[in-house]
Structure 1
Amino acid sequence: MLNNMLGEEDVVGGEPGEFREGVRMSSMMAPTIILEADGTVTALGTGGSNRIRTAILQVAVNIMAHRMEVEDAVNAPRLHVERCGTVSFEPGFTEEEEAALRALSAKAKAWPERNLFFGGVHVARWHEKKGAQGAGDPRRQGVAKVA
């Protein structure tokens, strides 16, 4: 089965093992490519179960909307909201942001440090003027080397 997603309730639906024979199983694998008008190309991806989409989205927003460099975008604190209402977040948010996250749910969970629970987004980027850039997520011991 793709990506061993047999226990992921939002992909399988219901209890693990309830998938139907002969039906291709869904996957949350989501390698992402961003093509900008100036020709900049950014490729990013991560492992992380149902946290893949939130990890990729947060890094992409950091790069595109906040205009962060790729390493800063990957290293920025992340959050994740589960269907059950749990709001998990890493350290690094401002006091006001953390208070707002805690106000979202009685099930808010502040993690004591960055954790691979929040994905491990790796990024490769090409910009005509800046050249190649890369970032490996330290949450998954990632590194990037540009030669």
Structure 2
Amino acid sequence: MGDHGFMLNNMLGEEDVVDETPGHFREGVRMSSMMAPTIIAEADGTVTALGTGGSNRIRTAILQVAVNLLAHRMDVEAAVLAPRLHVERCGTVSFEPDFSGEEEAALRTLAEEAKAWPERNLFFGGVHVARWHQKGGAHGAGDPRRQGVAIVV
């Protein structure tokens, strides 16, 4: 925080770390962070690194891409491009297009309010992925929700 009384970050809008109680922030104490760069080491030697910005949507974005990679065995680009959803504590489920009609109907039953986004949006994070395996080489995916690009050299 230094001697100037302000923190050099943009975390003041994050619901998970901001308490609405007056005087909640103590001078000289750094705020906790939701940042969650993630590394997945698989038994076959595959190593995947992924991360995103996105406030309280960081967890859901990273989890969804990791599930796509590990459980659905998608390649990195497909895992990043797949539609995402996010459920807020306030009772709202938000979701991107391209879920099946049956999946969308199920999502609408999850919360009091459902928000169907008309297109993919950076609201759902921008997960960027780098993956490497000794036999398969390097692969990457940049999330177009945040103008991401991956180039393997």
Instruction: State the TM-score, normalizing by the size of structure 2.
Output: 0.91
32-41 vs 10-19, which moves further: 10-19
Q: Work out the percentage of aligned pairs sharing the same amino acid.
A: 85
Rounded to whole Å, the distance in 1 between the matches of 2:36 and 2:103 is 28
Kindly indicate whether the alpha-carbon contact (under 8 Å) linking 1:91 and 1:113 is maintained by their aligned counterparts in 2: yes
For residues 10-29 of structure 1, give each alpha carbon's deviation from its aligned partner in whole angstroms, at most 9, with x where no partner exists.
11222587322233311011
Task: Detail structure 1 runs of 4+ shifted over 4 Å in the superposition.
Answer: none
- Aligned counterpart in structure 2 of residue 103 of structure 1, from 109, 126, 135: 109
Unpaired segments of 5 or more residues in structure 2? Answer: 1-6
- The corresponding residue for 1:24 is 30
TM-score by length of 1: 0.94
SS at structure 1 position matched to 2:79:
helix
Q: Which has the higher helix share?
A: 1
Match among 93, 101, 105 for residue 99 of structure 2: 93
Please provide the CA RMSD for this pair. Answer: 1.5
Is 1:7 matched with 2:23? no
For the Cα contact (< 8 Å) 1:122–1:137, is it kept in 2?
A: yes
Q: How much does 1:9 deviate? A: 2.0
2:80 alignment partner in structure 1: 74
For the pair shown, which has the larger CA radius of gyration, 1 or 2? 2
Residue identity opposite 1:41 in structure 2 = V
Q: How many residues align?
A: 147
Distance apart, 1:62 and its partner CA: 0.3
- Pick which of 123-132 and 110-119 moved more: 123-132
After superposition, the Cα gap between the structure-2 partners of 1:2 and 1:56, relative to the gap in structure 1 and judged at 3 Å, is: farther
1:117 aligns with 2:126: no
Unmatched tracts of structure 1, length 5 or more: none
Structure 1 residue 126: deviation in Å? Answer: 0.1
2:16 is paired with a residue whose SS is: helix
Between the aligned partners of 1:31 and 1:10, the Cα distance in structure 2 is: 17
Rounded Cα–Cα distance in structure 2 between residues aligned with 1:70 and 1:82: 26
Match of 2:142 in 1: 136
Contact 1:3 1:29 in 2 (8 A): no
Gap change, CA 1:135 and 1:12, over 3 Å in 2: same
